[in-house]
Structure 1
Amino acid sequence: MRIVRVANFVAPRSGGLKTALRHLGAGYLAAGHESVLVIPGPEFRDEQTPQGRVVTLPGPLVPGVGGYRVLLERRRLATMLRTLRPDSIEISDRTTLRWLGRWARREGVASMMVSHESLDGLLRLFGPASGRRIGDVLNRRTAQEHDRIVCTTQWAANEFERIGVPNVVRVPLGVDLDRFSPSRHSPSMRARWATPDDVLLLHCGRLSPEKKPRRSLAAVEALRQAGVRAVLVVAGAGPLRQALQDEAAERGLPVRFLGHVSDPAELASLQASVDVAIAPGPVETFGLAALETLAAGTPVVVSAESALPEVIGTAGRAAAGEGPAYAEAVLSLLAVPEDERRARARAQAEKFPWSASVAGFLAAHEAAVGMRRFRTATDRAQRHP
């Protein structure tokens, strides 16, 4: 099977989508399939990589979002897809690439949309009062235009299942259990940011409004007001970085902003060496960074509004509300003996190997191909009774 994957908003250096695309592509190859990824970039490129062939088409930068690009030239993308002759296309953007479902139907190609974001959640944060109704209309259209919708958690699937969409399948993402491991724990890494008496916290993720990074700062402030020597390390970049740095300085909070950590080994060591991580985003549909932190043996406090409570299970805590609720959740985790909380975190992460994700995605592709063949045969029969 030739699987062509098309994605917009792929971070130039890192990010959950970039990680997922890399592991899934490598898994498809290992399973004997052909994998092609089409993404936007500054210029045309066509190269062979460990995740298969990667074709980069020129796409403009999206202003104010930190380097994301999009494929806007529909004719050029459609021409490339016809040249690639896919058996199935995997689409990773529900907004700018939704038209590919209609294109695939006209071309007789199977299509699978991966729901990496929640319209319910985004409209709840930024949309009008009628956001749910708007989201329902768009989600129904998306489901009608694609053979399969893949959601990585039940939380993400709920907005489709609520309106009776029949072609939704749930397939969790995975984690690299070798790269992210408790064995990466490093006393010297910890000593860079904290004394032995400090509680070292980590916020790992993009610093953008929908991720609610101010909740992590507020958690540190609440902990220190309660007499806890909390220190926060922030690994990630984004449009809010300067504002957050200024706010932390004005409030006298011990927050260390690292920016983008480009060395994977360094990031894995950091995740294994802190006491607790905070993932406060309320619209996360899976949360790869949180899962990677669990694999490193560190428990995570997550937003109760998001999908992450499904992912962390009993290895972390879900906080409902703002900073003080996160501080209480951190204290609850610290009350658990360190060896026990780190063992729980690792055990939970081991439930999510990439091999299971690859198998689930491939099964969804095979189902999409079967459905497309059936629909094509039905259409022909109706045209020529």
Structure 2
Amino acid sequence: MRTAIEHVGQGYVEAGAERIVITPGERDVVLETEFGTVVRIKAPKVGGGYRLITDPWKVIDTLEKFGPTTVEISDKSTLLPVARWARRNDIGSVLFSHERLDAMLSLRTARPKMLGGEGAQYRPSVATGVGALYRLLSRTYDAVVVTSRYAAAEFDEVTTPLVRIPLGVDLDTFHPELGEPTDDGVLKLVHAGRLSREKSPHLAVATAVELHRRGVPLRMDVYGSGPHLDELEAIAGDAPITFHGYVDGRRNLARHLTEADVALSVCPGETFGLAVLEALAAGTPVVTADTGGARELVDDSCGRWAPANPAALADAVLELAQLPGRRSAARHRAERYDWPTCIRHMLALHHRLATARLAA
């Protein structure tokens, strides 16, 4: 989500819009940057190390001083008062639905389970009781932006003002020319992302473990940090999996992606999947789960998809690794998703809502 907010926000400013971004932080801070004012509001940590703004009135106080024509909100829980404030003051409001709450609640409370002889199985629990919240969100916001058909499915499309706008990828930073995998008979896998349950790194690692159990010569590199590294190391066991931690610089990450034969981005509850697009843009084909928004980003020229269990995903990896022309097809697929197109659609939506409020 942070990557999306940065790219879209930069596009807003470059198009001539004034912008303020308000985020949770360790302490109250105001920063003036080339891409607008950044306000961090002191907020407590919640599950997975994320911070959540619990005082929406601080947000409203900041917005009243700024005087926006529209507000764009990415929080479905504590910031409803901000959307109501916007409506009372004839300010357009957009909910940017970056995640499916039902899927994320389920994945965050899941526990990886080791089954003897079968590797690690990932069994997410089923989250319930969010329907009433979504009906409330539908009535509160002027528009709800979703990035995929999967993301749209949590809303009632009859009563919700849905707008589907896919995100983009930095096609210059992530590029196949940065490298390629060595041809040494070893299958090179990569996973990049936050090491937190809602991103399903456990399932990616368990897939590599399953391939190792089958005797496939492989190496897996995991890039990213997060609260569940110890669980992942336990699942990995003696399989050839290296946890590199946080990668400093997106160019460095792009180079690492180009060096892999297959990227594993297997979260079954992802609403979009920027990690999928970054791998594709780097020329690396992707295996993903057969549910979630990430599945919509690949086709059979550059990816494979399977039920969210290690055995099925391992089969998909082996099939994809033999696919001719997969690297050029991956890049071609990623080129369908660029940031300028996403930003243009978002600016048009903001303009429409601001104009409608002024005319009301």
* Fold shared per TM-score above 0.5: yes
Retained in 2: the 8 A contact 1:277–1:299? yes
Residues 230-249 of structure 1, C-alpha deviation per residue, up to 9 Å, x if partnerless?
A: 21111111121012113323
CA RMSD of aligned residues (A): 2.0
Residues 297 and 129 of structure 1: is their aligned pair in 2 closer, same or farther, counting only changes over 3 Å?
closer
- Alignment of 1:345 onto 2:340: no
Q: Which residue of 1 aligns with 2:113?
A: none
Residues 31-62 of structure 1, C-alpha deviation per residue, up to 9 Å, x if partnerless?
A: 11112111122233322324322122222233
Return the match for 1:151 from 140, 146, 150. Answer: 146
- Residue 310 of structure 1 deviates from its aligned partner by 0.9
Aligned positions, number: 344
The alignment partner of 2:330 has SS state of helix
Q: Which residue of 2 aligns with 1:60?
A: 44
Q: Distance in 2 between matches of 1:219 and 1:58?
A: 39
Q: Distance in 2 between matches of 1:186 and 1:128?
A: 38
Residues 239 and 148 of structure 1: is their aligned pair in 2 closer, same or farther, counting only changes over 3 Å?
same
Q: Which residue of 1 aligns with 2:208?
A: 220
- Residue 82 of structure 1 deviates from its aligned partner by 0.3
- Alignment of 1:260 onto 2:249: no
Gaps of 5+ in 2: 110-123
Instruction: State the AA in 2 paired with 1:268.
Output: A
What is the aligned-residue identity percentage?
Answer: 38
Q: Which residue of 2 aligns with 1:372?
A: 357
Q: Which residue of 2 aligns with 1:9?
A: none
- Alignment of 1:300 onto 2:286: yes
- Alignment of 1:27 onto 2:14: no
Q: Which residue of 1 aligns with 2:261?
A: 275
**TM-score (norm: length of structure 1):** 0.84
Return the match for 1:234 from 222, 244, 248. Answer: 222
Gaps of 5+ in 1: 1-16, 378-385
- Alignment of 1:118 onto 2:100: yes
Q: Distance in 1 between matches of 2:127 and 2:257?
A: 40
Residues 358-377 of structure 1, C-alpha deviation per residue, up to 9 Å, x if partnerless?
A: 01111221232244345xx3
Retained in 2: the 8 A contact 1:271–1:296? yes
Retained in 2: the 8 A contact 1:150–1:364? no
**TM-score (norm: length of structure 2):** 0.90
Residues 301-334 of structure 1, C-alpha deviation per residue, up to 9 Å, x if partnerless?
A: 1111211111123321111130011111111111
Q: Distance in 2 between matches of 1:168 and 1:233?
A: 38
Retained in 1: the 8 A contact 2:56–2:82? no
Retained in 1: the 8 A contact 2:202–2:235? no
Retained in 2: the 8 A contact 1:215–1:326? no
- Alignment of 1:199 onto 2:187: yes
Retained in 1: the 8 A contact 2:206–2:236? no
Residues 335-383 of structure 1, C-alpha deviation per residue, up to 9 Å, x if partnerless?
A: 113xx10011100100011000001111221232244345xx3xxxxxx
Return the match for 1:101 from 75, 83, 87. Answer: 83
Q: Distance in 2 between matches of 1:95 and 1:313?
A: 34
